[in-house]
Amino acid sequence: MSAWSRTTILSFGILLAQAPAGWAVGPVDPSDPSPPSCGADGICRINECRADPDCERPSGPGRPPSTPATTYRLTGTPEPTDVSGIEGSRFTRGTAVSGDKAVFAILSRERSDNPCYVAVGVENINNPATDTVPTPAIDLCGGNGPTSSTLHADYLDVNAGGGDDRVFVTGVQVCMDRGDDRVKGIHLHGKRITMGGSLVDFQPDEQASRTNCHQDHWHSWADCPSGQLATAVDLHFDGGSLPRSLTGIGLQCRAFSASSAAAARSLPASSSGTRAAEQTPPPADKEG
């Protein structure tokens, strides 16, 4: 079971369409008499829409020829967002210059009421069917570590106990405690990558909070620019002795693009300075 797995009981009341072996198929609601949408909406309806752009078409004996595979990339200079919450000593998790990995989760734990432990989950946008283990966590709890339950703000894949395949973070908002100086809630905006290679808003948002999240202390959103996904998370902590508290969260974002595999293979390795940047290892983690 994945490190991100949670026990989840799902009851959809839907049927799965029957399709040729190897075809990716989405849910069909038998109680809905309206004609199905055959456009790019992230659901394959091959029984009703023989040319549905959301249907993957694998090659093989007895199967239709495959359409050109689509490759997704993250390009351009990483753009930092504002900070939701209070700026402090900054630690970054994820890789801002990554060309193929985006953020899907932010998790928090506490010790003595201090949100001192944070982990960030990233996964490959070209293989978003399996959530990865988190990047190395920020642990400012002291020698005995965190003691609380985990605050989950995450878009989990189906095989990890969720239902949010191909969804990545594009915005974050934090809730503070009564003193307005410790993060007690995390609210995420996300976008789904459709099978047609576009980004669409995902609902519902992902939100998690502790009982001492003060509802009047939700801070402003920190959102990626349009058409971008978060590749890294900037975590802001207060100073002083351990345990130290998370006080704010920001994102670093890169532009999303899609192209056929054939087109991607035709690009020379030196066609853009971006490719070189994507191969540059991230700097050693340090308090900023």
pLDDT tens track for 158-173: 766 677 788 999 999 9
Query: At 277, is the secondary structure helix, strand, or coil?
Result: helix
Q: Can you list the positions of beta strands (E) in 52-182?
A: 70-80, 84-85, 89-94, 101-111, 114-124, 138-139, 151-154, 167-176
Q: How many residues make up the chain in this entry? A: 288
Average pLDDT over residues 235-264: 90
- Asked: is 72-274 a CATH 2.100.10.30 domain? The reply is yes
Domain-wise residue ranges, the chain:
20-67, 72-274
Single out the residue of 225, 234, 221 nearest to residue 254, CA to CA: 225
Specify the DSSP element, H or E, that contains 257: strand 246-260
Unique residue bearing structure tokens 């991100």: 4
List, for residues 142-156, the tens digit of each pLDDT value. 999 999 999 999 998
Specify the DSSP element, H or E, that contains 263: helix 261-266
* 88-92, 223-227, 249-253, 271-275: least confidently modelled range: 271-275
Q: Exposed, middle or buried: residue 158 (CB in 10 Å: 0-12, 13-18, 19+)?
A: middle
Average pLDDT value for the chain: 77
List, for residues 188-208, the tens digit of each pLDDT value. 999 999 888 999 999 999 999
Q: Which residues contact 278 (CB under 8 A, 6 or more apart)?
A: 97, 98, 99
Task: Quote the pTM value.
Answer: 0.70
